[in-house]
Structure formats: C-alpha cells, structure tokens
Amino acid sequence: MIQSLTRPDGETLALKRVEGGGPTVVWIGGFRSDMEGTKALALDAAARERGWSFARYDHFAHGASSGDWRQATIGRWREDAIGLIDALDGPVISVGSSMGGWVALLAALARPERMAGLALVNPAQDFTERLMWPSLPDHIRQTILRDGEATITEPGLGEYVLTGRMFEEARDWLLLDAPIAITAPVHVLQGRADDIVPWTHAMRLAERLTGGDVRLDLIEGGDHRLSTPRDLERLIAAVEAMRGSKGV
C-alpha cells in the first residue's frame, strides 16, 4: 500500500513501508528512477523475509510523488530525505543508489545521530558538476546557459528537461572538495564496468570519508545497475551486516 508524507509546502512523497524490527532500512533511489526498481524490490522482499523495518519512497517529481520536475534540485531531494528520516522512529540504515548515494551522504551529514550505517551502490555524489555537465554535448550546455533549460533524450531515462537551476543549486551540496565527516560505517558497492559513474569516482569518495569505517567493494564486470542476482545478494548481505553490527 502506498502511503504519503506531506511536506511543508504541500507536496507529497509517496512511500511504502514494511513493519519490522531494528534500524529502519531506507531505500533512496537514483536520478529519474522510482521505488519499484529491481534493487528496491529485492530489499523489500528481504525485509519481509528477515523481519526488517524498511521504507522506500519516490523523490520529489519522481514516480508517484508530486512535484514539478523543473523545480527539482539536489537540495530539494536532500530536504525530503531528511524529512522522511525525521518521520521515522529510531536509527536508520540508508541505502542510496547512484544519485541516491549523494542524497544519502547529505542526509547522514544532516542527521548523524540517526545513522546506523550507509550502503551505497555506485554512488554519484557531485554528479551534476563532475559527471553530467562535462559529458553533455556542447550545444546542450549552450542551450541551458542561454535558455535556462534544454530537453535531452537518454537511453533508459527517456526524454526530460535539464535546468540550469539544477546545476547551479547543486554546487551548494558538492562533497568531494573537502573531508566528509561521517562516523557511521559506510559500505560502497561499485561496479568496475560502470559506464555512468566510473569506479574512480567511488575511490575519491572513500578517500574523502573520515570518522568511521569505510568498505569499498569493486565488483569486477559490474555495471551501473548492479542488479544481477549475485549483485542483489551482495547488497542484502551488506545491509544485514550493518544491522548485525548494531546488535540487531
């Protein structure tokens, strides 16, 4: 059953819950993905089988959540993740995929006392500045600079609008230029064959994280989705280990 969390401005986040024990595992999805993806559903099934408390949700302007895509920013997605964590009881283990990894890191910095751990799948911190903008065709960049937005079509993501506002606002949330002080354990699962978020991007994150244990698994042949049965087993095991480390 889809539940909703109403935000201060009246927008609503769509979410689904599994009632269980221990820290709540929170799925934070990627850019233009929703809570019905393979990894989210695998975690949902694991939660039901293993008695976890689990929540998955759609970002602002994604899936079943409300919102105008042109108003979507990293800061907005960060605020909504924090709002969801604030609406939950007890500690959380954030599981962030791609852009969701960036959001999970930002939420952990904002609510350090709530974090029991982070499991990050091909995390795309700072992707707007370091990965997406440099990779755009020059005519698209020029259109965004001139008109404030441009429409692009991308395999797997379809046709959508990129706004200059999203790129500009994201600069307020860049992480890789300074130490990232997160005391909760962080486990990164990174595909070495990821052609969207290169494995060196995860290495840079591991170098910047300070204050807690960091584990980086470089998965040979792993792509950006990391959704094979073996990949899903790795993800579930990473979450289970974090739950175990908290005595759950």
The residue annotated as part of the active site, out of 126, 194, 201, 227, is 194
Q: How far apart are CA 205 and CA 190, in angstroms?
A: 11
Reply yes or no on whether 227 is catalytic. Answer: no
Alpha helices per DSSP H over the chain? 38-50, 74-87, 99-110, 127, 133-135, 138-147, 164-170, 199-208, 229-245
CA distance 100 to 17: 18
Is residue 98 annotated as part of the catalytic site, yes or no? yes
Q: How crowded is residue 113: how many other Cβ atoms within 10 Å of its Cβ? A: 7
* Distance spanning both ends of the chain, measured CA to CA: 26
13-40 burial string, b = 16+ CB within 10 Å, else e?
A: bbbbbbeeebbbbbbbbbbbbbbebebb
Longest dimension (CA), the chain: 55
- The residues near 110 (Cβ < 8 Å, ≥ 6 apart) are 78, 82
Which residues 6+ apart lie within 8 Å of 57 measured at CB? 5, 13, 14, 15, 16, 26, 27, 28, 29, 35, 65, 84
Do residues 126 and 102 touch, judged by C-beta distance below 8 A?
yes
**Looking at 59, 187, 201, 224, which residue is catalytic?**
224
Name the catalytic one among 33, 53, 98, 227: 98
Give the residue numbers annotated as catalytic, written as ranges. Answer: 98, 194, 224
